[in-house]
Structure 1
Amino acid sequence: MGVDENVLIVEDNRDIARGLGLRIRKRGGTSTWKANGTDAWEEIVRQTPSLIILDLGLPDMDGLSLLDRIRSEIEEPVPVIILTAQGTLAARQSAVERGANFFLEKPYEPDDLDQAIQSCRGI
């Protein structure tokens, strides 16, 4: 991850978001945190991030609804990593069908997240 890469973290849990932000900074990137889908969408429209880490259980909307909007309204391809406690097979399939690049369950292994981020760099 380079210094010009900005990751948007869409996560309602402040502690998880802080941990993700720290991990991204250690990789040389920057991050912006939004705790709900509405604020995240406003940020995406304002400045499209190089990567989005998206929780499915947001307080104001389902993360899949935000993913649908990203895929239908944002022209440049933005990689999306789903990071959620909703680790059912149905949730995984739905996320992938809607255009998620990776699906990770909470609690996640940091190495798995690093690998997903690294894989998204070429997208």
Structure 2
Amino acid sequence: MNILLVEDDPDDVELLLEALHDNNIEFMMESIKEGDKVLSYLELCKNLPDIIILDLNLPKMHGREVLISLKGSRFSVIPVVILTTSSSREDIDFCLKSGADTFISKPSTVEGFNKTVMTIAAIASQTEKHLR
């Protein structure tokens, strides 16, 4: 699984990496810390990600804006999982209506991160089958 993680908190990056390893998920992951860099990264990358994991609270460009930009671009077929500290109904509704595949509030436990990576892997594999 080829993952693009858009996340500015190094602790959350580390927790996600650990959960992926702990669950024996084969992956490659690139990480971007600023929202305004996502589209330019995708334009230049040789292997598009199977899935984008997107935080909402990002420097330079909010995750909501990144999501709208992604879904309005030629990269709109790449599934997007929102993984954020927010659990507000407004954020959830906005993201799902704007094309996110799912919305996950960041878990606070190792077990929660394990469940999160299994959800991410399931979404990525469903999409991979549809694109073949």
- Fold agreement, TM-score > 0.5: yes
Structure with higher RCO (Cα < 8 A, 6+ apart): 2
Q: Deviations over 1:82-120 (max 9, x none)?
A: 001111011000000000001000226121331233133
1:10·1:37 contact (CA, 8 Å) conserved in 2?
yes
Alignment equivalent of 2:10, drawn from 4, 11, 14: 14
User: Which residue of structure 2 aligns with residue 113 of structure 1?
Assistant: 117
Residue correspondences, number: 119
Q: What pairs with 1:11-50 in structure 2 (closer than 5 Å)?
A: 11-25=7-21, 26-47=24-45, 48-50=48-50
CA RMSD of aligned residues (A): 1.7
Look at both structures and tell me which one has the larger radius of gyration over its CA atoms: 2
1:24·1:31 contact (CA, 8 Å) conserved in 2?
no
Distance 1:76 1:98, change over 3 A: closer
Q: Which amino acid aligns with 2:119?
A: Q
5+ residue gaps, structure 2: 128-132
Distance 1:76 1:107, change over 3 A: closer
Deviation at 1:38, TM superposition (A): 2.0
TM-score norm. by structure 1 comes to 0.86
Q: What pairs with 1:63-102 in structure 2 (closer than 5 Å)?
A: 63-75=63-75, 77-102=77-102
Identity over the aligned pairs, expressed in percent?
Answer: 24
